[in-house]
């Protein structure tokens, strides 16, 4: 039996920081409201001309450096994003050209905030099937480009960033299991136009926040349970929960229901905002590089987003 494991992680945040106080000058909002309702204090915004693939390239090179690998060692790229540089070619292909690993399969998955969970699950299966040796699973976004900066209900939430993991074959399971789901019946609660359906508002993120909040908490708890049950484990066995960073209240509610102390939860939402597909791999990399997450730790990753799509993964790091 062949397994996959995370060889290394990497992430990148653009230099420009936008604080809640900066937003107070742009919108009818307050630092107090944003912190109390979301936990967000600041977020990073891409520079003019900086694209999703630009951010992803930095994150991937950091992961490759940490693994002691070269770009030409990569033989699969799975790229989760909702803010692609172009309609086509996909971001995976654009990144492949930058890395120089020509000829290897490269594609994007557009499952919104769950983009990385889908990318990880797919990359894991390629490695386990023996069809890839070193596979990149990426989540990267420039959500600032599709944000309506006059809409206070969404502009304070979303931000830019990128995270990546490099998977490699292993004798013992690193990725223990992944669990993906979708329910398109909820597509109207959270979406962004800009595709070929011209009846929808162009580009801007449209969200019925309250409804999304309630469904997110319930669904994420079930998704975590699903991963634990599949592996015959209780939440007490977890060293770390690395959740989707949409809202600190969602993260706290999820941890409370699992009876998991917040000391065992990696939270970056205060510094990163909601970076959609990038949020989980960014938080994972922060956890690893800060020394909190160590080799051998049992980690649960989860995300929920537009679609709705959601997923979890249990990992022995």
Between 24 and 297, whose beta carbon lies closer to ligand UT7? 24
* Orientation angle between helical segments 248-258 and 209-230, nearest 10 degrees: 40
Catalytic residue among 90, 113, 179, 272: 113
Q: Are 247 and 274 in contact (CB under 8 A)?
A: yes
CB nearer to ligand UT7: give 11 or 20. 20
153 binds ligand UT7 (CB under 6 A): yes
244 is catalytic: yes
Q: What is the footprint of ligand UT7 within residues 286-315 (CB under 6 A)?
A: 304-305
The 73-112 site mask, x for binding ligand UT7 (CB under 6 A), equals ----------------------------------------
Strand partners, 192: 205
Half-sphere exposure of 252 (CA within 13 A, CB side): 9
Q: Please return the burial class of 152, using the count of CB atoms within 10 Å of its CB with bins 0-12, 13-18 and 19+.
A: middle
Give the span between the Cα atoms of 27 and 275, in whole angstroms.
Answer: 20
Query: CA geometry: angle at 295 spanning 289 and 301, to 5°?
Result: 75
Phi/psi at 270 (5° precision): -65, -30
Among residues 38, 52, 267, 309, the one that binds ligand UT7 under rule CB under 6 A: 38
Question: According to the binding rule CB under 6 A, does residue 33 interact with ligand UT7?
Answer: yes
Q: Indicate the residue among 39 and 173 with the shorter CB distance to ligand UT7.
A: 39
Question: What residues make contact with ligand UT7 under the rule CB under 6 A?
Answer: 29, 33-34, 37-38, 113, 152-153, 156, 209-210, 212-213, 216, 246-247, 250, 274, 304-305
Known catalytic residues are: 113, 244, 274
């Amino acid at each position: 039996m062949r397994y996959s494991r995370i060889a290394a992680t990497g992430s990148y945040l653009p230099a420009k920081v936008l604080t809640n106080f900066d937003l107070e000058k742009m919108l009818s909002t307050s630092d107090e409201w944003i912190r109390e309702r979301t936990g967000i204090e600041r977020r990073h915004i891409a520079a003019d001309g900086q694209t999703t693939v630009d951010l992803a390239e930095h994150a991937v090179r950091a992961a490759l450096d940490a693994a002691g690998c070269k770009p030409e060692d990569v033989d699969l790229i799975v790229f989760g994003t909702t803010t692609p540089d172009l309609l086509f070619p996909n971001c995976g292909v654009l990144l492949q050209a930058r890395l120089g690993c020509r000829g290897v399969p490269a594609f994007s998955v557009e499952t919104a905030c769950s983009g990385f969970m889908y990318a990880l699950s797919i990359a894991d299966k390629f490695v386990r099937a023996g069809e890839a040796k070193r596979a990149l699973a990426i989540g990267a976004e420039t959500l600032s480009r599709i944000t309506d900066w006059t809409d206070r209900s969404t502009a304070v939430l979303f931000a830019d960033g990128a995270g990546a993991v490099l998977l490699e074959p292993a004798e013992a399971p690193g990725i223990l299991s992944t669990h993906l789901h979708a329910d398109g019946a909820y597509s109207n609660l959270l979406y962004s136009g800009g595709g070929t359906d011209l009846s929808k508002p162009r580009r801007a993120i449209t969200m019925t926040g309250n409804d999304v909040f309630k469904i997110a908490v319930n669904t994420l708890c079930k998704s975590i349970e699903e991963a634990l049950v599949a592996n015959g484990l209780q939440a007490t066995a977890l060293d770390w929960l690395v959740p989707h960073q949409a809202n600190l209240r969602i993260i706290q509610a999820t941890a409370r229901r699992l009876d998991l102390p917040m000391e065992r939860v990696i939270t970056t939402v205060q510094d990163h905002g909601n970076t959609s597909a990038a949020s989980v791999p960014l938080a994972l990399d922060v956890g690893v590089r800060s020394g909190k997450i160590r080799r051998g730790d049992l980690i649960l990753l989860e995300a929920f987003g537009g679609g709705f799509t959601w997923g979890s993964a249990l990992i022995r790091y």
